[in-house]
Amino acid sequence: MQTVGEIKQIHKIIREQKVNGKKVAFVPTMGNLHAGHISLITKAVEAGDFVVSSVFVNPLQFCEGEDYGEYPRTLKEDQEKLKDAGCDLLFAPPVSEMYPRAKVTNVIAPAEITDTLCGLSRPGHFAGVTTVVTKLFGIVQPDIAVFGKKDFQQLAVIRRMTEDLSLPIEIIGMETVREADGLAMSSRNSFLSEPDRKTAIAISENLKKAKAQIESGNKDFAAIEKSGRAELESVGFVVDYFTVREQATLNNATIDDRKLVILVAAKLGSTRLIDNIDFVL
């Protein structure tokens, strides 16, 4: 696996691959990789001929007071994991390479899909996501891009952006990879204290409970949301949202919707965790 940090290097390598008829599959990350990330690489290896990943902690998507400075940087370990998983090329640029000017051209997705859920509590976050992903798509020029469903709103925003901008890229969403006890794998899990780590499984447990209620015929979504929030608050979470939505639009679910997703964002101590469960009735 080759690691490069300059955009012009990536362009040269990708041009050679395209000339040779290779299908380029791309997995963007912020590093500190775990098994969830590696599952995305595995899918990219399966779906493409030449696999590119990126490790870039994007300052634009961190809001004021968030953990940009503390976000784990583990490039050496990440390189080994990517190499072992079959990645062909790693793009690991410095901030100055990605954003050489103080003022950046932003790509902003429609408000109805970004000014809700995480977008309400993290203003500007999704503009940072869409901007960096659009830039990475332009740099790597992939045929396929693979993202995890754990960041379900992010995946929905990227799908919408890709469609609206007519980008010739197939977006693949992969199921969330979980620890043995059900906790969704996340780079931020390392911030949890030992007691909080044990408490954190309440998120996945309450998601499964809410899903079972809906599948059994309960369509009182407001009551299900209220109960889920209360359950998490009772064990120490500060809940941002516990909500039932329609998958594609992220609008509040109605009794006629069939493709649903239950989403949670909550803080345990100083660590903000997100998770979701999607299903079809």
Written as six digits, the tokens of 274 are 């997100």
Give the span between the Cα atoms of 213 and 144, in whole angstroms.
36
Segments forming the whole domain that contains residue 59? 2-174
Q: Give phi and psi for 52, each to the nearest 5.
A: -115, 135
For residue 169, is it within any domain? yes
- Same domain as 221, residue 170: no
| DSSP string for 56-94 | ---GGGPPTTSSTTTS---HHHHHHHHHHHT--EEE---
- Same domain as 44, residue 100: yes
Neighbours of 102 (CB within 10 A): 5
Q: Which of 174, 203, 232 is the last residue of a domain?
A: 174
Instruction: Let me know the angle formed at the C-alpha of 166 by 165 and 172, rounded to the nearest 5 degrees.
Output: 100
- pLDDT of the residue at 223: 98
Give the span between the Cα atoms of 154 and 261, in whole angstroms.
14
- Same domain as 143, residue 49: yes
The CATH number covering residue 155 comes to 3.40.50.620
- pLDDT of the residue at 74: 95
Low-confidence ranges of the chain (pLDDT < 50): none
- pLDDT of the residue at 190: 87
Give the span between the Cα atoms of 30 and 32, in whole angstroms.
7
Residue whose tokens read 């969830």: 36
Give the span between the Cα atoms of 33 and 72, in whole angstroms.
10
Tally of domains in the chain = 2
Q: Which of 109, 141, 174 is the last residue of a domain?
A: 174
Give bridge partners of residue 268 from the DSSP assignment: 271
Please report how the helices 75-85 and 35-47 are oriented relative to each other, as an axis angle in degrees rounded to 10. 40
- Same domain as 227, residue 166: no
- Same domain as 165, residue 193: no
- Same domain as 82, residue 24: yes
Give the span between the Cα atoms of 104 and 121, in whole angstroms.
23
Residue type, 232: L
For residue 179, is it within any domain? no
Contact call for residues 16 and 137 (beta carbons, < 8 A): no
For residue 115, is it within any domain? yes
Catalytic residue, chosen from 11, 34, 37, 125, is 37
- Same domain as 210, residue 143: no
Does the active-site annotation cover 11? Answer: no
- Same domain as 197, residue 170: no
For residue 81, is it within any domain? yes
The CATH number covering residue 258 comes to 3.30.1300.10
- Same domain as 137, residue 254: no
For residue 181, is it within any domain? no
- pLDDT of the residue at 158: 97
pTM assigned to the model = 0.94
For residue 180, is it within any domain? no
Q: Which of 174, 207, 239 is the last residue of a domain?
A: 174
- Same domain as 150, residue 235: no
Give the span between the Cα atoms of 81 and 84, in whole angstroms.
5
For residue 105, is it within any domain? yes
- Same domain as 37, residue 155: yes
- Same domain as 196, residue 167: no
For residue 223, is it within any domain? yes
